[in-house]
A and B are shown apart, each in its own frame.
Chain A
Amino acid sequence: MSGSKGDRRKERIDRGIKVRSDSVYAISSWKEITYLIAPRLVLILGLALAPLLLSAAPYWQRVVSIICVYSLLAIGFDFLANYVGLVSLGGGFYVGVGAYAAALLNTYFGLPPIITIPMATLLGAIICTVLFLPCLPLRGVYFAIVSLMYPLLAARIIEALDIFGGTDGILGVDGFSNVWLEQYFLILCVLVMVFALRRLVEEDIGLVFRGVKDNDQAVKASGININEFKALGVFIASALGCLGGACLTHMYMWAGLSQFALDFSIIPIAATVVGGGGTLVGPVLGCMILVPVSELLRDFGSLRIAVYSIVLTAFIVFKSEGIMTYAARKYEQFERWVEI
């Protein structure tokens, strides 16, 4: 404790408007309403305008759809990792199951995309949850390792048994009737899921999820079966992944082994790190950065992975909290230097 002159420290103080309006529903002034709604509006308008602004470049329009698919996966990963405590590398499996389910429903039963997508989401999530049931007692890195097995195993089984079209995949799947429908459907899904999950984790049932993450022993001692809640968490996350996979199938009019690719397991994690884990919006933000970057780097071939790794490492070292956490702090607090 040196009391010498010139010693200063940084002080962070909540903005008055945040103190008043945070989780208080009776809001009095336009200023406060704007303060609360502005960040949400930026996200909604940003996503809603993206296809319009990019309408001149169909290639980049497709990138918006892919961002949305990855965003769905990343939201699921963030929810599972930061609110349920299961680090799942099974993203590729969720997408693959959703994709094949949608393709099979479409080609064998002739159902239109409007029915196959919800059905594939639900059916796929049930399949994923049932298959993950044996791993639910595992924790931490053990769950991560086992969950990584699923996409690899599924692809090998399809390849070896030559089922569902084998290595050729399932061809001749119906596409979306037009590109706008595809884009806005996906954007709507992402927005609804982000806001719904952000709501869910603050509800009583969401607190139980967070309890399972913080201290599963205490949850057990509270008379709650933690495996039920873990299963529910996996169901939610895999439903998001299957939804993305089903949309992907109809986008490409094809379901194949590449939908079990590890990209779907890895990019959501990177997006969560870059965007800020535990915020649920952060992963969407992360996808908006990483997916276009990886498209831009496509010309560099395998060097893409190197750039990717550098970006990721830089984020982990210098801004491990992620963009969203950082931005939220700047928005909600001001900093000042005080003499001590």
Chain B
Amino acid sequence: MGSEPLLSVRNVSKKFGGVLALSGVSLDVFTGDIVGIIGPNGSGKTTLVNAITGFIQADTGAVHFKGKDITNWKPHKIAALGLTRTFQVMRPYFSLPAYKNLIVPLFSPRARKTGGWRGGGKMGSRDTVAVDILEEIGFERDSYVPFKMASSLPTGYLKRLELARCLALRPEIIICDEVFSGLSMSEMASMVPLIEKLQMEGITLIMVEHRLRELFRLAGRVVVLNFGCKIAEGTSEEVMEYPEVKEAYFGSEEVYDYV
């Protein structure tokens, strides 16, 4: 390793009442990585994402991003630094057309400072930039999908819209909270190259995921959570060998395979 991690999470714990949602989770993410976070339902994946991005306050522990201590910063400040996230439950701005949804991030201080997506110098009309981003992420401009109301878009496009919202900020890290869930097989198949493209563009990705097949194709390193603890970390093959992981996560699947 040697080099400084882009994002480092140290011993983060969070209690909800008497439930220990996270207990002492640590995680390092380096520039250009795709890190997967997996675990059974209720294992603390989304809580970890919320704690990193400031949507909840961690009880103990520290989060450093680009060498800065961002522990318990406000969400908008963390996003302004270039650490963005998608939401598991997609709630776009339903009253607006898809491309108008991107005006909000493009209006943020960070986007205005960096001069729009890909730093196209002086940002022209935000509408143009928004449609360009949507086209990049798979909205067919010719079929007018970018101009449809967000409330009428299918799940696959809403997931892309979530990613596009992050991209509009020209982030350094995108934390994807279950981008594959709820997608059809073909939608998933087209999402994988999209994620690979983002990585090629130099964006570091953290993917919280239930779809292991797709995740293992993408992620170089996988972290397994169970009951709020990190029980394994390594490449996809390595974590599969952990007995705790098998028990917590794959046990049921293996049984299912034998049946």
User: Which residue of chain A is the closest to B171 with respect to CB atoms?
Assistant: A223
- Assess whether B55 is interfacial by the CB under 8 Å rule: yes
Contact A224 B107 (CB under 8 A): yes
Contact B104 A222 (CB under 8 A): yes
Rounded to whole angstroms, the CA-CA distance of A218 and B109 in the bound complex is 15
**Residues from chain B with Cβ under 8 Å of A314 in the complex:** none
- Assess whether A210 is interfacial by the CB under 8 Å rule: yes
**Residues from chain B with Cβ under 8 Å of A204 in the complex:** 103, 106-107, 126
Contact B80 A223 (CB under 8 A): yes
User: Which residue of chain B is the closest to A215 with respect to CB atoms?
Assistant: B91
Minimal beta-carbon separation of A84 from chain B (angstroms): 13
Question: How many residues on the B side are at the interface (Cβ–Cβ under 8 A)?
Answer: 33
Rounded to whole angstroms, the CA-CA distance of A222 and B104 in the bound complex is 7
Q: Which of B61-69, B92-100, B243-251 contacts A (4 or more CB under 8 A)?
A: B92-100
- Assess whether A294 is interfacial by the CB under 8 Å rule: no
Rounded to whole angstroms, the CA-CA distance of A225 and B78 in the bound complex is 11
Contact with A along B123-159 (1 / 0, CB 8 A): 0001000000000000000000000000000000000
Contact A205 B87 (CB under 8 A): no
Minimal beta-carbon separation of A218 from chain B (angstroms): 7
Contact B96 A221 (CB under 8 A): no
Rounded to whole angstroms, the CA-CA distance of A210 and B169 in the bound complex is 19
Contact B76 A208 (CB under 8 A): no
Total A-B contacts with CB atoms under 8 angstroms apart: 85
Which of A217-251 touch B at CB < 8 Å? 217-226
Rounded to whole angstroms, the CA-CA distance of A214 and B100 in the bound complex is 13
Contact A207 B100 (CB under 8 A): yes
Which of B156-198 touch A at CB < 8 Å? 165-166, 168-169
Residues of B bordering A, CB below 8 Å: 53, 55, 74-77, 79-80, 84-85, 87, 91-96, 100-101, 103-111, 126, 165-166, 168-169
What would 17 more interface pairs be, CB under 8 Å, given A211-B104, A221-B165, A224-B76?
A204-B106, A207-B103, A208-B103, A210-B96, A214-B93, A214-B95, A214-B96, A215-B93, A218-B87, A218-B104, A220-B74, A222-B76, A222-B108, A223-B76, A223-B77, A223-B111, A223-B169
A-B contact pairs, 7 of them (CB 8 A): A207-B96, A207-B100, A214-B96, A218-B165, A219-B76, A220-B79, A222-B104
